[in-house]
Amino acid sequence: MRKAKLLALCTTCALAACAGDGSGLDENGRPEGESSGTLQPDFQSIQDNVFTPVCTGCHAGAAAPLGLRLEEGASYALLVNAPSVEAPSLQRVQPSNPDASYLIQKLAGTAAVGARMPLNQPALPAETIAVIRQWIADGAANNTAVGGSAKVRFELVELTAVSPESDEVVPGPVRDVVVASNVELDASLLQSSLIALRASGGDGNFDSGNERVVPVDATVRSDQPTVLAITPRLAPLSADSYELHISGTDPVAMADLQARPIDGDGDGAPGGDFVLRFTVEMTQ
């Protein structure tokens, strides 16, 4: 009975986030793509039943508020151990500590800054928030992997640009660049000069001689699989075009715990540099 009530409440909340003319709904009246299963305290279930049908109406793509994308493939990397923009002293999701997680504060309406989420929509049912709290209290594990199920056996070590995405134009300032792997990387390699970020110097080109190196720090937000946050040391990234390099080439290459180098260039074989280009535009 309790599970049935919870499902009904989640469905009602999801419907409130959709257009009133019925567009975007399936034949059962649910948002298209929404899971029909009961919400469970694991990340994939929360993605399927809350983030995707309720939150991605706003929190998706380059223009996502405060850079928080909640679409599948990006949400975990931008939530867990990621500092809040509105309240930098708090993490959006602090594993094992739901009370200190800014996500819970925003959903419950207790945050000191900004409005309750979802914005301009009915608040999530208390039962739904309780399930999200339980997932965080249990350690905020990721039971998915970039591009698919965590159960898939990966033959190659691959990197994915989470935010910004490749060749994307994003509003500035940009506080960090987030890249995810499909496996756990060897974090000790972050001590080597494997990661480099350059600004174009204003012309959008990276071979005209006026480029400048942007000093960065790289930290592991989570592992299994690894999520890297690459943060400018001096100031957030302002208007310009940028190029991020992560080495996958000898003598020192980013690799997993089995010393397999990344397939940085995506040619289906280990080795090659991962290159991400994106542009930051300052909005009025």
Rounded average pLDDT over 80-96: 97
Q: Is the pLDDT of residue 109 over 70?
A: yes
Pick from 4-18, 53-67, 107-121, 172-186: least confident:
4-18
E strand residue ranges, 90-194? 144-145, 148-149, 159-163, 169-171, 177-181
Give the DSSP H or E segment for 147.
Answer: none
Q: Could you give the domains of the chain?
A: 2-142 (no CATH), 152-281 (2.60.40.1220)
pLDDT reported for residue 24: 43
Exposed / middle / buried, residue 118 (Cβ in 10 Å: 0-12, 13-18, 19+):
buried
Residue 63, both tokens: 């223009």
What confidence category does residue 251 fall into, taking pLDDT thresholds of 50, 70 and 90? confident
What confidence category does residue 145 fall into, taking pLDDT thresholds of 50, 70 and 90? low
Q: In what order do the strands lie in the sheet with 159-163?
A: 159-163, 177-181, 227-232, 216-222
- Number of other residues whose CB lies within 10 A of the CB of residue 249: 15
Interval 39-64: pLDDT, tens? 999 999 999 999 999 999 999 999 99
Radius of gyration over every alpha carbon of the chain, rounded to an integer in angstroms: 20
Give the chain's mean pLDDT.
86
- Report the candidate in 242, 257, 254 with the shortest Cα–Cα distance to residue 191: 254
